[in-house]
Structure 1
Amino acid sequence: MSARPLIMGVLNVTPDSFSDGGHYLAPEDAIARGRALVEAGADIVDVGGESTRPGAEIVGVAEEIARVRPALEALSAAGITTSIDTMNAETARVALAAGTLYVNDVSGGQADPELLRVVAASETAILIAGHWRGRLDAGDSLAHYADPVSEVVEELSRIVAAARAAGIPDDRIILDPGLGFSKTGAHNWAILRGLDRLTALGFPLLIGASRKRFLGEMLPADAEVAERDLPTAVLTALIADSGIWGVRVHEPRASARALDVWEHLRS
């Protein structure tokens, strides 16, 4: 029987994230939101200070650190497991010093190769390496695949090789196929149908489908972004049997309840 996937709650300390930008910029709001995510069922709080949506402004490292450090320090001090969502080595270094366990890099170490060495230098830090072909643009210009699953597997394998070369042991690597990153809705669905080929790589797998455009495409055109939480939760339950390590979601409560149903059905 597959273990219950962990739930990673999203905490965007940004003005421009696609679904909740600007809501938690003030440190006290970010800290309160982090606590609320845990109360709603999150096992990990993933704190990010730079949006990765198409066309998002690139944030200076000093600004990124200023945004995320108060929440990371306060939540870690409260015993909450935290993750830093960053592509920058110096931000990762500061986060680890604040008590963060996971470094969630959507670029898999490609945006700043020094990040891999920062993770390797830690005795406990765990790298979550995403599949990435570059920063997103409005036209999905890099979203071209002959076989999405095979190509993502191949490109993630190269990311693993780079992480190993930097000194990160296999038991401190988690992979993320990067749904929505240089991928159309059809590509995302193909990857979700082929999760067995991704888990066959032998690494824990994090899935971040929450509120993404391909789920919104199933809803009425005027639906609010938060209405994507229900399909997100349904998807969480549907893929739990595939052996994934965790899901990254904006609203943990719905996915936690979905996993409760999954556990009851399985037992």
Structure 2
Amino acid sequence: MAARTYLRPTGFVDAPFGHDGKVARLAGGLLWFAAVEIVRDDGVELVPVDGFEARLDSLGEDARVAWTNLTTSRAPLRLGERVIRLDQPQVAAILNVTPDSFSGDGQGGDVEAAIEAGFAMAAAGAALIDVGGESTRPGSQTVWEGDEIARIEPVVRRLAGGGTAVSVDTRKAAVMEAALAAGARMINDVSALTFDPRAAEVAAAARCPVVLMHHKGDPATMQDDPRYDRPVLLEIYDWLEARIAAAIEAGVDRANILVDPGFGFGKTVQHNLAIMNGLAMLHGLGCPIMLGASRKRTIGALSNAAPVDQRLAGSIAFALKAAEQGAQLLRVHDVPATLQALRVWRGMRDAALTPA
């Protein structure tokens, strides 16, 4: 692979006032950055935003495209009649209708319990409910699509019928079709449309938002010994860039594509931490970012092997770290607590952005 250049915004400031020409707004959100890391495989150079555009000609087309993407606003998501603004972090609530969810929130496959939980999370302020009927935790096995449909279809239908914005979390084209017919208006595919050969066709025909998530290996074996030949964030960036191109080639509108770095999907603790520390780089892809670190094993690894039901504080720490780097959608289990943290964070941003 030919050497290329990546850009990571950094040096975030409280507000742009008095810094004309010295800061840039990140993806049309609530953050301004004053410096850029020019990242290559052979090293990193930190440069100020002031005068950075004058250097673009010498940095090549990769850097020019990334800079345009970093400084361009993201259009709102349109889920049927619902519009979700992406100029601030939003919460996507996880609703697992499975008997074996890693997080212990799978509702035991109880449809009525799942519906009640979904409406409660929407009432608490979640922008959308992400419904899944197949666990993709490390070591999990593939679920037959008929069983997956039976789990999620009545839940999606009731939630969507009640006016809730619903996303379907699945790798399978038949499940996507069933969920869309039931009222889902977004597809969240942990395989980035690689698992099912018909998935890209279904996503393109639906003309709805699609999340492409990075993964390394199959859920059954992805955590056995994940390795990367280059810095993990650079490999993820290139992989997602290729999947964006493939989705567009299949007929998916670029404006409907979101990306997810796949926290915990074929990554060690160190890989996951590198993703969190460098997340802002992925804005260079030009797509909204979804981040799902809620209750993940890395939190337990960093906190005396805390069990899954004792990982709320760590989940909020990751959610705020993602918000501080401009992630637009935070996929979480604990909606009220996460929203409270985000509202406090937003209050501080609003105060900083209100001229004295």
Of stretches 19-28 and 200-209 in structure 1, the one that deviates more from structure 2 is 19-28
Asked whether the 8 Å contact 1:133–1:142 carries over to 2, the reply is no
* Equivalences for residues 47-66 of structure 1 within 5 A: 47-66=131-150
Report 1:95-106 matches (<5 A). 95-106=179-190
Gap runs ≥5 in structure 1: none
The equivalent residue for 1:147 is: 231
Q: Does 1:171 align with 2:251?
A: no
Could you tell which deviates more after superposition, 129-138 or 187-196? 129-138
Q: Is the 8 A contact 2:276 2:321 kept in 1?
A: no
Do 1:207 and 1:246's aligned partners in 2 also have CA atoms closer than 8 Å? yes
Please say if 1:251 is aligned against 2:334.
Answer: yes
Q: How many aligned residue pairs are there?
A: 265
Contact 2:95 2:106 in 1 (8 A): no
Match of 2:312 among 219, 229, 233: 229
2:113 aligns to what?
29
Q: Distance in 1 between matches of 2:156 and 2:269?
A: 33
2:238 aligned counterpart, secondary structure: helix
Alpha-carbon contact 1:12-1:20 (below 8 Å) kept: no
- 8 A contact 1:215–1:231 mirrored in 2: yes
**1:3-29: CA deviations, max 9, x gaps?**
321101111111111112552412111
Please list every run of 5 or more consecutive structure 2 residues that lacks an aligned counterpart in the other structure. Answer: 1-29, 32-86, 351-356
The two structures have a TM-score, normalised by structure 2, of 0.72
Partner of 2:284: 200
Alignment correspondent of 2:344: 261
Q: Return the offset for 1:253.
A: 1.1
Larger RCO: Structure 1 or Structure 2 (Cα < 8 Å, ≥ 6 residues apart)? 1
Distance 1:76 1:266 in 2: 33
Q: Distance in 2 between matches of 1:243 and 1:126?
A: 19
Q: State the superposition RMSD in angstroms.
A: 1.5
Q: Which amino acid aligns with 2:349?
A: R
The reply on whether 1:189 has 2:236 as its aligned counterpart is no
Note if 1:130 corresponds to 2:213: yes
Is the 2:222–2:265 Cα contact (8 Å) retained in structure 1? no
Asked if the contact 2:170/2:190 (under 8 Å) is kept, the reply is yes
Q: Which whole-Å CA distance do the structure 1 matches of 2:106 and 2:217 have between them?
A: 25
Determine what percentage of the aligned residue pairs are the same residue.
40
- Residue number among 12, 31, 43 corresponding to 2:127 in the alignment: 43
Query: Counterparts of 1:139 and 1:33 in 2: how far apart (Å)?
Result: 30
1:108-157 CA-to-partner distances (Å, cap 9, x unmatched) read 0110131111010123x111110022213457246111310100001111
Instruction: Give 1 or 2: higher strand fraction.
Output: 2
Structure 2 CA distance for aligned equivalents of residues 83 and 139 of structure 1:
24
Q: Judge conservation of contact 1:230–1:254 (CA < 8 Å) in 2.
A: no
1:165 and 1:119 map into 2 onto residues whose CA distance is 12
Superposition map of 1:82-101 within 5 A = 82-101=166-185
Deviates more, 1:137-146 or 1:22-31: 137-146
Q: What is the rounded CA distance, in whole Å, between the counterparts of 2:260 and 2:316 in structure 1? A: 18
Higher normalized helix content (fraction of residues): 1
- Alpha-carbon distance between aligned partners in 1 of 2:313 and 2:224, rounded to the nearest angstrom: 29
Cα 1:92–1:185 change in 2 (3 A) is same
Cα deviation, residue 243, structure 1: 1.7
Equivalent position SS for 1:196? helix
Residue 170 of structure 1 aligns to which amino acid in structure 2?
R
Q: Distance in 2 between matches of 1:82 and 1:72?
A: 7
